[in-house]
Amino acid sequence: MSVQRPSTPRSLTRTEADDAEVRELGKRYDENYFLHEIGDMGEPYVRDNPVWKAIFARVAQAIVTELAPKSVLDAGCGIGFLVEALRERGVEAFGLDISEYAIANAADEVRPFCELASITDELTRRYDLIVCMEVLEHLPPHLAPRAVENLTGHTDLVLFSSTPKDFRDSTHLNVQPTEYWVGLFGSRDFFRDPDFDASFVADHAILFRRIKAIPANVLRAYERRYWRTEKELRELRHAGAQTSEEAAGVNLRNVDDQRAYIESLNERLEAMRERQNELRSLLMDANEQLLRRDQELRVRGREEIRLRDEEIEWLRGVVRQRDEEIEWLRGSQAELSRLQSTRAWLIVAAWWRLRARVAGLFRAG
């Protein structure tokens, strides 16, 4: 049974100008971007950076634990951190990105599963889950609806995030509040799952599910989320009011008191920074240990395979030698049988029998 490629919906029809614009955008995401401009952590986005490895390992584990998809597409996969982490956990994961540099620098074991393509290019298969993290803000606004329609046309579940406030990045062309994206996904019958906490991706992350109609249980779920949020806000306001009253009672009568208070805050901040550096150092040490252990296991595995191959080759030699001996014995047996059937052999055999008989008669006499 052949599978037909889905036809392109009218709203997804691409123009040459759009394709040229997307290709031009892809050139901006070069080595300099991934080493110095991506994110706000000041961490180079390279394969051997344990910080990024740890982030995507945490996201992958949460996806597997909470959603258990069998197939996943990371739309905007960069150098394939999430694809790699998901495949290590048994998920059939794929990725796409418009950056030639990113795809070229994916790990060797996941590069066959990462495609150089745009999120606006029509997908060719369905997935249990599509992940799109901090990608759509990089597209110009007129391409956003097409990208959303493309994603939602090939899955029933989208784990999505797009920064609502980072206007500093020059590659951010369409920074919008979450309600903007909720509206685009809602036009495709995709709605927020109010019971799913997607904060392991980002505070503004959303899990969208395809819902053809709004059943009563979905409305109840939204009401639960609304009531819980309102309750938390009231409690925070009450706690804030108490804190303000307590702060008003703090006696900062002079400049020395204020300076001491600021110094204490700076000390706490410095302690937090030291703790952060300590945790990062521990993370890097742990990652190095894991990499070293992985290398040791690989070396040991290669040595065991080499010894096994040598043993197999020796056994093959023994089998070949045995086969040669058997073949030689068969040839000798055939040659002996041939000789025994010749006239000369028959005369010699008769002579030896006669000689034995005469010798017997002499011994008897």
- Whole-number Å distance between alpha carbons of 333 and 340: 11
Helices then strands, counting H and E runs in the chain, come out as: 10, 7
Give the residue among 63, 66, 62, 72 at the shortest CA–CA distance from 156: 72
Q: HSE, CB side, 13 Å, CA atoms: give it for residue 237.
A: 6
Cβ pair 38, 45 in contact under 8 A: yes
Predicted confidence at residue 280, as pLDDT, reads 64
- Do β-strands 190-192 and 206-210 pair in parallel, antiparallel, or remain unpaired? antiparallel
Predicted confidence at residue 4, as pLDDT, reads 35
Predicted confidence at residue 1, as pLDDT, reads 31
Cβ neighbours for 215, distance < 8 A, ≥ 6 positions apart: none
> Tens digits of per-residue pLDDT, 237-262?
777 666 555 555 554 456 666 677 67
Which of 18-22, 106-110, 326-330 has the lowest average pLDDT? 18-22
Determine the residue type at 253: R
Cβ pair 75, 94 in contact under 8 A: no
Find where tokens 């055939």 sit. 334
Tell me the average pLDDT of the chain: 81
Beta strands in the chain (DSSP E): 71-75, 92-97, 114-116, 129-133, 157-161, 190-192, 206-210
- Whole-number Å distance between alpha carbons of 260 and 218: 53
Q: Helices marked H in 9-49 — which ranges? A: 16-26, 31-32
> Tens digits of per-residue pLDDT, 118-173?
999 999 999 999 999 999 999 999 999 999 999 999 999 999 999 999 888 888 99
- Is the confidence at residue 88, as pLDDT, over 70? yes
| pLDDT, greater one: 46 or 149 | 149
> Tens digits of per-residue pLDDT, 304-348?
888 888 888 888 888 888 888 888 888 878 877 777 778 877 787
Kindly report the pTM of this predicted structure. 0.60
Beta strands in 182-266 (DSSP E): 190-192, 206-210
- Whole-number Å distance between alpha carbons of 25 and 32: 14
Determine the average pLDDT of the residues in 40-67.
87
Q: By percentage, how much of the chain surpasses pLDDT 90? A: 37
